[in-house]
Structure 1
Amino acid sequence: MLKKTILIIDDDNRNIFALKAVLKAKGFDCLSSTSAKDGFAILEENAAIAVVLMDMMMPDMDGYQAISVMKKSEKMQNIPVLAVTAQAMVGDKERCLSAGASGYVSKPINVDELLVQIEEVTT
């Protein structure tokens, strides 16, 4: 099986560290960024990215704005985005999906659920 590359965009380095550790242990390559703008630069340079894990609550540009930018970009519009949020409120999942996310995971992240979603959006 080909290794899939995952881009993690999260303003909290502890979240990036934890996700990278888990995903690398499962055989994924991981790239990361602490802002959506830096994430876009990584996406522009790296055609191998299979999926983006997008934190929905970031200070400069939140995940909703970032997904909107991606969906308007010819280069980035077909890359699936999994919304990652600590705000697991009623209606959150629907809001993320209607913003253009391909899937939704709430924090604390259930790794098995995350792996199922990655598999679903990348096959």
Structure 2
Amino acid sequence: MNKKVLIVDDDPRNIFALTLTLKAKGYQIESCTMAQEAIDFLKKDNQFSIVLMDMMMPEMDGYEAVKIIRNTPEISHVPIIAVTAQAMPEDRQKCIDAGAQDYVSKPINVDQLMAVIQKYS
């Protein structure tokens, strides 16, 4: 099973914490801090089993990035998990409507995150 995860978050502390957690569970990790960088990453390497996408980022937010990924045939298949501090019920729906498979709110509950990752990867 491919266990390669792309973490997209504009806060290096979030990337650091997620990387430590996922590496300890045997995942290969790539990360970037900008949505456009994530799209470029996926186009170069479509072997990612899942993308953890922060939804609130400068320049291009996660909503726009997810829509672009979904509309790019060579990468549209990659499961995307929205990761956001916005935790209202309508925020979850907004993420799903944008094209994310699922949603995890910050602060991240590791057990919940792992259950979601395993569901899609």
TM-score range, shorter chain: over 0.9
Q: How far, CA to CA, are the matches of 1:44 and 1:98 in structure 2?
A: 23
Kindly state the Cα deviation for residue 90 of structure 1 after the two structures are TM-superposed.
3.0
1:10–1:34: 8 Å Cα contact kept in structure 2?
yes
| Deviates most, 89-98 or 101-110 | 89-98
2:2–2:47: 8 Å Cα contact kept in structure 1?
no
Kindly state the Cα deviation for residue 16 of structure 1 after the two structures are TM-superposed.
0.3
| Deviates most, 110-119 or 40-49 | 40-49
Kindly state the Cα deviation for residue 121 of structure 1 after the two structures are TM-superposed.
1.1
Provide the TM-score with structure 2 as the length reference: 0.96
Instruction: State the identity %.
Output: 48
Aligned to 1:84, the other structure's residue is in SS state strand
Residue 100 of structure 1 aligns to which amino acid in structure 2?
Answer: G
Which residue does the alignment assign to 1:103?
102
- For 1:1-16, list aligned pairs within 5 A: 2-16=1-15
1:8–1:16: 8 Å Cα contact kept in structure 2?
yes
2:2–2:48: 8 Å Cα contact kept in structure 1?
no
Q: How far, CA to CA, are the matches of 2:74 and 2:11 in structure 1?
A: 26
Q: Which runs of 4+ in 1 moved over 2 A?
A: none
Residue 119 of structure 1 aligns to which amino acid in structure 2?
Answer: Q
How many corresponding residue pairs? Answer: 121
2:5–2:30: 8 Å Cα contact kept in structure 1?
yes
2:66–2:98: 8 Å Cα contact kept in structure 1?
yes
For structure 1, the residue ranges without an aligned partner over 5 or more in a row are: none
CA RMSD of aligned residues (A): 0.9
Provide the TM-score with structure 1 as the length reference: 0.95
1:3–1:27: 8 Å Cα contact kept in structure 2?
no
Q: Are residue 31 (structure 1) and residue 12 (structure 2) matched?
A: no
Aligned to 2:112, the other structure's residue is in SS state helix
Kindly state the Cα deviation for residue 3 of structure 1 after the two structures are TM-superposed.
4.7
- For 1:29-108, list aligned pairs within 5 A: 29-108=28-107
Q: How far, CA to CA, are the matches of 1:51 and 1:43 in structure 2?
A: 10
For structure 2, the residue ranges without an aligned partner over 5 or more in a row are: none
